[in-house]
Each structure stands twice: as C-alpha cells, then as structure tokens.
C-alpha cells in the first residue's frame, strides 16, 4: 500500500513539473507585440534606396504588424515595405506590402507576412525595409509597427 502511494505521489509530482515547464516556456515565447514608432523620409533623388526601422526581436511565427498614422504629402505617393533580418537580408520567401496616401487602394494597417520563424527557427532581430516612390520631390510617412502580431 505504501509503495503504491509513493508511486502515485511521484507520478503527480512529475506531471506537475512537466505542466509547469510548459507554462513557463509558453510565457517566455509570448510575441513581441508592443507598438514602436517609425518615421520614413523619401525623396525622388533617393528613389529605390531604402529606409529602415530600428531592429526588434521576432519571437513567433505570426506576421509583423504595421500601421500608417500619417503621410505628409497630398501628391501620388506610395512605398513598399517588407520584413528583413537586422542585417537587411530578405527571408526565403519575400512579401512586399504597399502603403500610400490613397488609403482605399492601400490600407493604413497591414500584416506583413514573413518567413523569419521558418527560416531561423529561433528568436531573431528583424526590421522593416521600405522604399518610396512618388510624384513629389520629398515626402514622409510615420506610424507604428511590431515584429509579432496577435
């Protein structure tokens, strides 16, 4: 009888430790969803050159999130944005999203698909790479972004 009780207590202890381990690992794998401000400045002379956000940790396999708060020009302007590694390298599959001042064509908020988690299978630093185009000499865009989405 005492042996069965000891085995039962041992089994309950092991199961409890395993479940606690899962809870801790899930908590530490929580996505990096806090919004960070960005501001891009584009000119016709730098068309085709890139602007970048700061680097942040990407912790899960969700899309990155980007929301435009303002574009400071009324002419026809737009920019392409994609998630890249902190060194600027594209992932194995590229997804380019378009943002612009015609919000009917280009939504203000978009989820940037990426292969960061699939390519690296670990937490890595990422940033957004953007290149702008327009019919005006100089313009800018600002908003918020996060490397992981909910």
pLDDT digits (tens, 9 = 90+) for 69-83: 999 876 788 999 999
CA dihedral 116, 120, 125, 131 (to 10 degrees): -40
Any idea which fold 36-146 has? Jelly Rolls (2.60.120)
pLDDT at 47: 52
Which stretch of DSSP H or E encloses residue 21? helix 2-28
Rounded distance between C-alpha atoms, residue 91 and residue 64, angstroms: 13
Instruction: Report pTM.
Output: 0.77
Rounded distance between C-alpha atoms, residue 84 and residue 128, angstroms: 6
Residue 140 has pLDDT above 60, yes or no: yes
Residue 46 has pLDDT above 60, yes or no: no
Residue 20 has pLDDT above 90, yes or no: no
pLDDT tens, residue by residue, 91-102: 999 999 999 888
CB 130 within 8 A of CB 79: yes
Residue 134 has pLDDT above 80, yes or no: yes
Q: How far is CA 55 from CA 18, 52, 71, in A?
A: 34, 9, 22
Rounded distance between C-alpha atoms, residue 132 and residue 146, angstroms: 20
pLDDT at 25: 42
Rounded distance between C-alpha atoms, residue 106 and residue 143, angstroms: 14
């Amino acid at each position: 009888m005492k042996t069965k009780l000891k085995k039962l207590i041992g089994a309950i202890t092991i199961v409890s430790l395993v479940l606690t381990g899962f809870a801790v690992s899930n908590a530490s794998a929580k996505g990096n969803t806090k919004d960070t401000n960005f501001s891009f400045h584009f000119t016709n002379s730098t068309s085709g050159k890139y602007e970048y956000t700061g680097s942040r940790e990407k912790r899960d396999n969700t899309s990155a999130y980007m929301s435009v708060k303002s574009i400071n020009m009324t002419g026809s302007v737009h920019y392409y944005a994609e998630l890249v590694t902190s060194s600027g390298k594209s992932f194995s599959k590229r997804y380019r999203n378009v943002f612009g001042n015609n919000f009917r064509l280009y939504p203000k908020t978009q989820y940037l698909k990426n292969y960061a988690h699939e390519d690296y299978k670990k937490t890595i630093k990422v940033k957004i790479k953007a290149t702008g185009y327009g019919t005006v000499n100089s313009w800018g865009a600002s908003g918020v972004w996060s490397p992981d989405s909910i």
